[in-house]
Amino acid sequence: MTTAATYSPDRSTTTAPAQPSQRAVPAPIRFRQATADDRDAIEALQLAAYHRQHLLGLEPPPLKADYAEIIGRMEVWLAEERDRLRGVLILDVREGDLLIWSIAAALDAQGQGLGQIMLDAAEVRAHQLGRHIIRLNTGAVQQTLIGWYGRHGYAIETIEIVDERQLIHMIKRPSETKPK
């Protein structure tokens, strides 16, 4: 992934407004690496994206994170459309694998394929880094997300009990999955 990569998906399967004149022309999603100046925008998007978990009484790591530290230690990629922040992809490059530490879409961008674009970007980055394993974690209460990740090639690797909750560790070996 470069700091100005562009990816324009086929959005023909998204739900469009009733009136064609109301539809925005799809714009390419551009990825760029975050800087310290992006911290406030990242925090706001993460807070909004993880708000439902917070309402369930959960405090996922992205809501407790020090984003100044995260930006300095991990790869933080901003998915932008028309220079507007639409998603945040945080990757932890570890020895032997790539961990998707967080994948979050703006509320008005959810359900439009951006999550798939960010998962694809993580696979591209893993390939660039020579990592053949991608991991991510999610809570067991997030059954919808577990199913969504499963449909994108991720499998449950282990289940861990953390603070009386189940943390689902998922894994994907992109070189072993067949292209769609």
Predicted local distance difference test score (pLDDT) of residue 24? 57
* Residue 149 CB-density burial (10 A; 0-12 exposed, 13-18 middle, 19+ buried): buried
pLDDT of residue 25: 58
pLDDT tens-digit series, residues 65-93: 999 999 999 999 999 999 899 999 999 99
Give the closest residue to 88 by CA, choosing from 111, 107, 73, 69.
107
- Of 152 and 178, the structure prediction assigns the larger pLDDT to 152
Percentage with pLDDT > 90 across the chain: 57
Across the range 151-168, mean pLDDT stands at 90
Residue 166 has pLDDT above 60, yes or no: yes
Lowest mean pLDDT among 11-15, 26-30, 128-132, 159-163: 11-15
168 touches 136 (CB < 8 A)? no
pLDDT at position 5 is 46
Look at residue 14 and tell me whether its pLDDT is greater than 50. no
Mean pLDDT, residues 161-171 taken together: 87
pTM equals 0.81
Reply yes or no on whether the pLDDT at 176 is more than 70: no
Say if residue 180's pLDDT is above 60: no
Supply the pLDDT for residue 87. Answer: 96
Could you give the domains of the chain? 28-176 (3.40.630.30)
Q: What is the pLDDT of residues 95-148, one digit of tens each?
A: 999 999 999 999 888 888 899 999 999 999 999 999 999 999 998 777 888 999
How far, rounded to the nearest angstrom, does the alpha carbon of residue 43 sit from its chain's CA centroid?
A: 14
